[in-house]
Amino acid sequence: MKVLGLIVEYNPFHTGHLYHIQKAKELIQPDYTIAIMSGHFVQRGEVAIVDKFKRSEIAIKYGIDLVVELPFYYVNQSADYFCKGAIDLLYHLGCTDLVFGSESGNIDEFKEIAYAIDHHQEQYDNSVKQYMKQGFRYPDACNQALSKLLNKTVTTPNDLLGLGYVKEVIFNHYPIHLHCLKRTNDYHDQTIKQISSATALRLALKQNKDVKHFLLNEHYSSFYFQEQFFPLLKYKIMISSLQELKNIHLVDEGIEYLLKKVIVKVNHYDELVFSLTSKRYTSLRIQRMLLHILMNNTKTEMNNIPPIDYLHILKMNQKGQHYLNQIKKTCTYQIVTNASKLDHPAFDLELKTASLLTCIYHENKIKQEYRNIPVYQDDI
């Protein structure tokens, strides 16, 4: 039996994602297809433009059998944590194959790099630490260490994620076959074309452009944008003491002083991110930090999250339901189809994200967490 795993955000789901599903299924010929998907917020530290329930419904509609939520604890972290969490869930779901897209599309090179790091882990880690002491950002320090070790670099976003997936599979000896598809567009490309990037589509939607064709003519009642949280974020930073800010996860190395200094001068979310971005911290790192501030996620809270040993099912079709019934006796993780039965500190973070959406958009997302019906019948 072949079980295809995909790691996705679908922010929003578009023609390129459909292409990925179709090509992956064509390549693997799976019996079941499973997607691990970010929840209400994505790895960039921003709100997903469409809520997770709608995105998971669309995923089922266009070829996925089972959508499992990647916990916020893994999502709003660096690529290493994101990849670790996603691959761990795929392994416990019994996935036999992983297909991901990347700029290079070269799976052999990813494997070569992963094996080299695995065989020289101490040397690589020491090099990363040395470059960080020299002032390099973590991703840049990793690239410098990799260049020193193997005379190779990995710089583009999906190549970095792809390498992260491959490293997790190889380091943990997971029995998952790895496959890579070359992306058909530039991750940062903001132009609209036959297969547009999610970045371009989010920008177009923000500008009220008609891009329904690229979104497969799906109906959306509303879209969410990160700047809509800015007034709440500004208030939170302004009323917090330096010590309260310092206690927040990812607020490190005295950046709380800069936060207090610039927050009174900026009027937009992007302006705040730009003011905090530096040689030391990327804009994505800053965005993730700001989200932790917004949610009041302390270092103590995040560091004390116990191992995540559950699979929160967002949506599934009848095939997906059948697969869950097959594995539930052997799966060592709790399979959760009813959130009221889920008692775990990591899920409390999901409730915080639902609370944020409820405050800004006046939609009771907390109630939706508990009333979500995972079986989706409208298969095509």
Q: How confident is the model at residue 153 (pLDDT cuts 50, 70, 90)?
A: confident
H helices present in the chain, as ranges = 15-28, 52-61, 72-75, 79-92, 107-119, 121-133, 138-150, 157-171, 198-206, 230-239, 242-246, 255-262, 269-276, 283-295, 299-303, 318-327, 345-361, 365-371
Residue 237: is its pLDDT beyond 90? yes
Q: Please check whether residue 319 is in contact with residue 25, taking contact to mean a CB–CB distance below 8 angstroms.
A: no
Mean pLDDT (whole number) for 7-28:
95
Token pair for 125: 């880690």
Q: Please check whether residue 71 is in contact with residue 42, taking contact to mean a CB–CB distance below 8 angstroms.
A: no
Mean pLDDT (whole number) for 333-344:
94
Which residue ranges make up each domain of the chain? 3-104+156-223+307-371, 226-303
Q: Which residue has the higher pLDDT, 31 or 361?
A: 31
pLDDT tens column, 84-115: 999 999 999 999 999 999 988 889 999 999 99
Could you give the CA distance from residue 213 to residue 220 in angstroms, rounded to a whole number?
13
Q: How confident is the model at residue 196 (pLDDT cuts 50, 70, 90)?
A: low
Mean pLDDT (whole number) for 219-233:
92
The amino acid present at 310, given as its one-letter code, is: Y
Q: What is the pLDDT of residue 140?
A: 85
- Residues in Cβ contact with 277 at an 8 Å cutoff, skipping those fewer than 6 apart: 283, 286
- Which architecture does CATH list for 3-104+156-223+307-371? 3-Layer(aba) Sandwich (3.40)
Mean pLDDT (whole number) for 21-31:
97
Q: What is the pLDDT of residue 191?
A: 54
Q: How confident is the model at residue 380 (pLDDT cuts 50, 70, 90)?
A: very low
Residue 164: is its pLDDT beyond 70? yes
Mean pLDDT (whole number) for 274-302:
95
Residue 282: is its pLDDT beyond 70? yes
Mean pLDDT (whole number) for 251-269:
96
Residue 190: is its pLDDT beyond 60? no
Q: Which residue has the higher pLDDT, 78 or 72?
A: 72
C-alpha angle with apex 368: 362 to 372, nearest 5 degrees?
A: 155
Residue 377: is its pLDDT beyond 80? no
Q: How confident is the model at residue 379 (pLDDT cuts 50, 70, 90)?
A: very low
Q: What are phi and psi for residue 78, nearest 5 degrees?
A: -65, 170
Q: Which residue has the higher pLDDT, 72 or 363?
A: 72
CA distances from 282 to 48, 118, 143, 164 (A): 20, 26, 15, 18
